[in-house]
Structure 1
Amino acid sequence: MSETFETDNKEIERAILVGVWVRGQNEEWEVRDTLDELAQLTAGAGAEVLSQILCKQSKIHAGHFIGQGKAEEISQKVLEEDANLVVFDEDLTPAQGRNLESVLGVRVIDRTQLILDIFAQRAQTREGCLQIELAQHLYLLPRLRRMWTHLERQKGGIGLKGPGETQLEMDRRRIQDLIRTLNKELTQVRTRRAEQRRGRRRHGWALVSLVGYTNAGKSTLLNRLAGADIYAKDQLFATLDPTTRQVELPNREPCLITDTVGFIRKLPHNLVESFKATLEEVAEADLVLHVIDCSHPQVEQQIDAVNVVLQEIGAEEKPVLCVLNKIDTDEGAGAAKRLARTLGRSVAVSAVTGENIEGLLDELSDCLKGDKELMKLEVPLSEGRLLALLKNSATVLEEKYEGPNAELLVRVPLPLVPRCEPYRIAST
């Protein structure tokens, strides 16, 4: 049920963007910055951006979000520029959207609806499509009445319901049934993901999650670290579906790194709720790699936006290594030096050129080494499964074979320590 940005005859949508600055609530430059971001989102969804309008007012108006007079000014702008779409950089209530469409005479959508449309266009996997569909239905449910305004005058008499009301109730029940079905399917997805994580834990692999503002360079970084070929493009939300790759660290220990969906300011709450199956990868990780676009003029605000989402998904206490990306640019190099003094543990890199990737891998090794215990073991050769597990999941520093046993000096992942304890022969 996603919105589309093309009509049946493939006519490109022509959009006017509207931002609202409420004096005293935030700074004017913040609103202008998110409005520029909205322009990137709109263009990425396939629409042509005609112009941007910033409304300055003292309060939010209940009826039209903006004042009636300002709405009429925008209506005139719509006629002058032959626009057929108006996009608001704020969330509108169903009533506000309905009232604005009545005044403006064209379709009106808000930031959440736009982001949901982009996600619907780009999700590739079954899991991603399920999550997007759930978010769209959660968004649509309270807005059904707006879709049926053309039937509002068809009222029945006492004891009767007009056809519009009947259809509205039927659609509401149908969407509620779909939401229940999607939630059930996503519960199964979460169960499968939990089983996969338990399997990785049994092998002792460290789990690392990449997070960051959209277009910070997460996919490019994972491609660089793992030699992967994940789709990476200079646009917002270029990739949505999570991808996991194995990376061997300089100390010969393997780890699994998962690229997750990019975050953004004003990330729709329904989207966070629907993507919990994916975002649980972050909450369950041993280490979070926060990829930061140091070249962006509002890099601090982007960092704050990521931290807000981490808090919302219960991952704010996870150990974090900040990756100060894009130091191949003059802006990025200067900002990286400044941010390194204020952030916690960090390393500056360029995912595009590969500059200091070795330093990042060294930091990763150092961050994860606390998850392993140094043990000296004497394991019977008959314990072939354990020996194979140690070869794959532990770091073997020394090995010597004496008769029926193997003597090993190994760094063992903590989940495997109880399994190895019976074969420990000396304190290390």
Structure 2
Amino acid sequence: MTNNAHDFSLADELEATEDWDALDTEPDADGFESAEEYGYSADEDPEDIDPTVGAMELAERHALKRVASLRTELEDITEVEYRQLRLERVVLVGVWAGGTQTDAENSLAELALLAETAGSEVLEAIYQRRQAPDPATYIGRGKVEALKEIVAATGADTVIADGELAPSQLRNLEDRTGVKVVDRTALILDIFAQHAKSREGQTQVELAQLSYMKQRLRGWGGNLSRQAGGRVAGGAGIGGRGPGETKIETDRRRINTKIAKLNRELKAMKGTRDTKRADRKRHHIPAVAIAGYTNAGKSSLLNRLTGAGVLVEDALFATLDPTTRKTTTDDGRVYTMSDTVGFVRHLPHQLVEAFRSTLEEVADADLVVHVVDGSHPDPEGQLAAVREVFAEIGASEVPELVVINKADIADPLVIARLQRAEPHSVAVSAKTGEGIDAAIKAVETDLPRPGVEFSALVPYERGDLVNRIHQHGEIDHLEHTAEGTVVKGRANADLAGELAAYSA
């Protein structure tokens, strides 16, 4: 009997595997992507690397299952969708009332990205050239009929309008198309509700949603009938104002009560934020705020500059909760760097009001690092939209450094054009590290400089003063002598006053 099996040798088998890659570099049959997609090199084992907080949040967000089989027209959401994001099938509609055709197309493209971020599948997009939106249906009568045919042909269950709709426009469009209609404001609020993590962020989003909803309450069927029931107040329902109050009035009153409660909670949270801000000011710690258009790369830049490890995702409004990290300059001065919520064209005023305490970080900063996406089709439009919000929150006078991000994929001609228009700017790539050193140098140059000159002979037992000079002042000359440390430079008024006792 012949044995066809070859002799097994462990050494031979191990030698045969030496040319294998540590990890695949292409998606396999099951759809798993390469290690590089998650920030690992080919010779690193992901299980041996401690993930950052941002990486864990991103994995949790991607773990939510998106389903397309559940309808979301005008009926209530059922418990079947617990822990699942609805994958709505949407049609986009816009009105081109001004600007160029490119502007209108860019606006719809951004709306499509917003819809996909919210968990939707975009089926079709149309826009109409008009001098102004139709007061009854947002788009003209003929376009409404065309929209109804598109909805029927594609099987869409939602229409998203590229603008803020009045309650009457919303109702008329839903009646004529037979599907749910939402506007740009409601879409952005929905994204914020999905991505808010902190208690303050969730409270701010809930306040913005209630403020938006209060003006758009509507009754279905018998909901507008007079309320009755219970045995209080002559037959009025529990919590009602008596016979004759409609359900829509009851809902509006309850919303107002909830808004008042949320405002009280945010006021308490604002006190905590103000205390921290005042503490930084008392210790003369400069504050740098990273602001800019959504998905311009603010969180990536913060990670690159400070190693913060916050969540990074190629999506609009991926991170909402501000992150502050302490860092130091090359000469030892301490300052803070904060990531802020991203801005967008026509940012809902409800969000600006609700996030005012967070946005005040920008207004109270000593320097704003304004990040713009150099690869975007309209970077100048991004700059203008963000500066419009700056003006609304009182941050127009804060010194500004423009950082043109994504230089690795941007057109060099576009970057050159932006740098001509913005002389105080620097081009970087937060992904590859290109230009980061120049950005850090520009930030350190723009930090506020101490204004009081001093010359002191500090005894060696007062080493704490020398340490504070390193952290909060600028040293031009330092020499160790037999009597103590001779220091010359500039410091803030408080520190200079303490050094006056050792004036040399």
* TM-score (norm: length of structure 2): 0.76
Choose from 428, 441, 445 the match for 1:366: 445
Choose from 44, 47, 54 the match for 2:120: 47
**Structure 1 residue 141 and structure 2 residue 219: aligned?**
no
**Structure 1 residue 425 and structure 2 residue 500: aligned?**
no
Please report how far the alpha carbon of residue 383 of structure 1 lies from its aligned counterpart in structure 2 after TM superposition: 5.8
Q: Residue 319 of structure 1 corresponds to which residue in structure 2?
A: 399
Q: Which amino acid aligns with 2:364?
A: E
Q: Residue 150 of structure 1 corresponds to which residue in structure 2?
A: 221
| Closer/same/farther in 2, CA of residues 114 and 162 from structure 1, 3 Å limit | farther
| Closer/same/farther in 2, CA of residues 395 and 335 from structure 1, 3 Å limit | same
| Closer/same/farther in 2, CA of residues 302 and 230 from structure 1, 3 Å limit | same
How far apart in 2 are the matches of 1:230 and 1:113? 26
Matches within 5 A, 1:221-300: 221-300=301-380
Judge which range, 217-226 or 201-210, deviates more.
201-210
Choose from 158, 164, 174 the match for 1:91: 164
Please report how far the alpha carbon of residue 275 of structure 1 lies from its aligned counterpart in structure 2 after TM superposition: 0.6
How far apart in 1 are the matches of 2:289 and 2:198? 19
Judge which range, 380-389 or 166-175, deviates more.
380-389
- Say if 2:288 and 2:369, in contact at 8 Å, map to a contact too: yes
Q: Residue 27 of structure 1 corresponds to which residue in structure 2?
A: 100
How far apart in 2 are the matches of 1:130 and 1:386? 43
- Say if 1:134 and 1:179, in contact at 8 Å, map to a contact too: yes
Q: Residue 144 of structure 2 corresponds to which residue in structure 1?
A: 71
Please report how far the alpha carbon of residue 233 of structure 1 lies from its aligned counterpart in structure 2 after TM superposition: 1.1
Q: Residue 17 of structure 1 corresponds to which residue in structure 2?
A: 92
How far apart in 2 are the matches of 1:300 and 1:21? 19
- Say if 2:450 and 2:490, in contact at 8 Å, map to a contact too: no
- Say if 1:321 and 1:344, in contact at 8 Å, map to a contact too: no
Q: Residue 419 of structure 2 corresponds to which residue in structure 1?
A: 340
Please report how far the alpha carbon of residue 399 of structure 1 lies from its aligned counterpart in structure 2 after TM superposition: 5.2
- Say if 1:378 and 1:423, in contact at 8 Å, map to a contact too: no
How far apart in 2 are the matches of 1:78 and 1:165? 38
CA displacement 1:86-115 (0-9 Å, x = unmatched) = 000000011111111111111110000000
Q: Which amino acid aligns with 1:394?
A: G
Choose from 91, 95, 105 the match for 2:178: 105
How far apart in 2 are the matches of 1:177 and 1:5? 32
* TM-score (norm: length of structure 1): 0.89
Judge which range, 247-256 or 350-359, deviates more.
247-256
Q: Which amino acid aligns with 2:432?
A: T
- Say if 1:242 and 1:260, in contact at 8 Å, map to a contact too: yes
How far apart in 1 are the matches of 2:244 and 2:346? 34
Q: Unaligned 5+ residue runs, structure 1?
A: none
CA displacement 1:296-338 (0-9 Å, x = unmatched) = 111111111111111111001111111111111251x332222
SS of the residue 1:143 aligns to? coil
Please report how far the alpha carbon of residue 134 of structure 1 lies from its aligned counterpart in structure 2 after TM superposition: 0.8
Q: Identity over the aligned pairs, expressed in percent?
A: 42
- Say if 2:452 and 2:490, in contact at 8 Å, map to a contact too: yes
SS of the residue 2:503 aligns to? strand
Number of matched residues?
415
Please report how far the alpha carbon of residue 5 of structure 1 lies from its aligned counterpart in structure 2 after TM superposition: 9.4
Please report how far the alpha carbon of residue 295 of structure 1 lies from its aligned counterpart in structure 2 after TM superposition: 1.2
Q: Residue 190 of structure 2 corresponds to which residue in structure 1?
A: 117
Judge which range, 48-57 or 333-342, deviates more.
333-342
